[in-house]
Structure 1
Amino acid sequence: MPLHQPKLDNPEDLYVIKKYQEEIDWLKNPCYEPGLMNLLNEFKGKAQRELLSELLKEMKHQTIAEKIQNISFLVDTLESLKLTASDTLIVATAKKSESDGSNAWLYFFKFYLAQHREWNERSLQPTIESSIETLTKSPKNYKNIIIFDDFIGTGKTITTKVREFEDKLKEKNLKLPNIHIFSLAGMKFGVSHAEKKLDLNITCPTQIEKGISDKYTCPNEVKNKKALMVSMESMLKSKYSHNAFTGQYSLGYEGSEALFQVQFTNCPNNVFPIFWMQPRKKGKFRNTLFYRL
């Protein structure tokens, strides 16, 4: 339960919540009700409510169990590429001493890899730094590196991390292994951007299109709905005195327009900020549909 339980400004919005829950199965979970109530308190206009409803219906929502199925898909891909434990490392993109989704989800590879007896703990590297150390100690042992992330947003971060990995190997005069990139999910435009920049194929079983720009075919409709969302963000900026609603996170980080969430996990900053942004000033609090540290 959140620290502050909101109350509906308009009791009739209880019927709106029930309608949303009937139409959108994942909203039936009680954990989302405080955030949904708060969204209805914040956005009372007809056009605002219609846009909220449309976006929530398009939201790609996964349970942890569904997310783990994507790991099964990645392991199947690994086998189809004929990558073996004797010459392959699976490396999370996390930095040293960083709490990161790639590191957290890497753990779930164990269940599937354990069914193939040749894989062991050394095959899984929790950080880029640890993989460099392993390659330095045994430079001839590993011909293949799988760089693993849990979510690709704009594609810039994974591009930077792969290039940093390559640069560190070059600094140590180590031969560059074959690099493969796996991600559990990502923005379609971001995956495409990274593939072009790195000249590598990316295996990403769940790819998300932009929630407004890629959904509507009429340019004017796209323009109007994006303008409406920006106005909704501006309302929150004024209410909470929090510039982040309209800064680089407007429409999601760098305009990503993501509609994606895995239940009980940290929300990607690529998602529209009205669903997760919290004010940081003392004395300000906002119940959100999703949460992010």
Structure 2
Amino acid sequence: MNHPSPHTAHHGAHHVHEHEHDAGDQAEILDLDAEVLAEHIASITAWLPIGTSPRRIVDLGCGTGAGTLALLERFPEAELTAVDLSAAHLHRLQEKAAAAGAADRVRIVRADLDATAWPELGTPELVWASASLHHMPDPDRALRRIHDLLAPGGLFAVVELAGFPRFLPEGAPEDAPGLEERCHAALGHHHAEQVPHRGADWGTKLTKAGFTVEGERTITVDLGPPRTDAAGRYALSGLRRMRGSVASALTAEDLTALDRLLDTDSPHSIVRRIDLGVRTERTVWAARRA
């Protein structure tokens, strides 16, 4: 599950549109998303209505491999094709697969999923797309392509973020109560302009593309204190990325308060807060090709 950054989110992050100069920061937050939310990602792969375990899987917009590695663990007999535009993300994924002893089960394909033609991806029994569809300029076309790509009876799993994660309790921080909600409101306006397909009715879109939607589930994440170091770094990385999208919409007072949270040398830093949590939602649709 990828993409929790402000421009995906993303976890991923945006994977298929990632610019290489930004890939380092994006890779960090994708890796932290995978670490902090590992149990929730595993719960999604466990929920998928799979009959016979797939032997061929495609991960579209794989980022640094959170979904890839979860799928390889869930389906130990499967081979997986991981597709992303970012060479840096794919290199990181290869390192992770090697460390997990699964390098020989992963095929790397660098490709732009917005391109007119897609590379040869075989005939998978399972296709996974986490936090990537909403970035495509024509997701309906992509859904039709995925439908045709799948083996008959194959399953398509769509995972989308319900919003950017929240990290602070209500009423925090003390010098700007409600700051996080105001940042989220500004981010919502930004996404409405820049990412119009975020929050789309994916169930209806899947049906229109010829799929039969067999299940929909929302995974609620609520990781409260005591915080872990990974959760602190996840919050820091996420809020840094959010700042880039919302700074121009914040008051000077709110921007000062946000920068105080981002200052790791400050006693008010987000990484030092004992009340830090991680709250978010992910929705998954399981759709079958007839």
Higher fraction of helix: 1
User: What TM-score do you get using the length of structure 1 for normalisation?
Assistant: 0.35
Indicate the structure (1 or 2) with the bigger Cα radius of gyration. Answer: 1
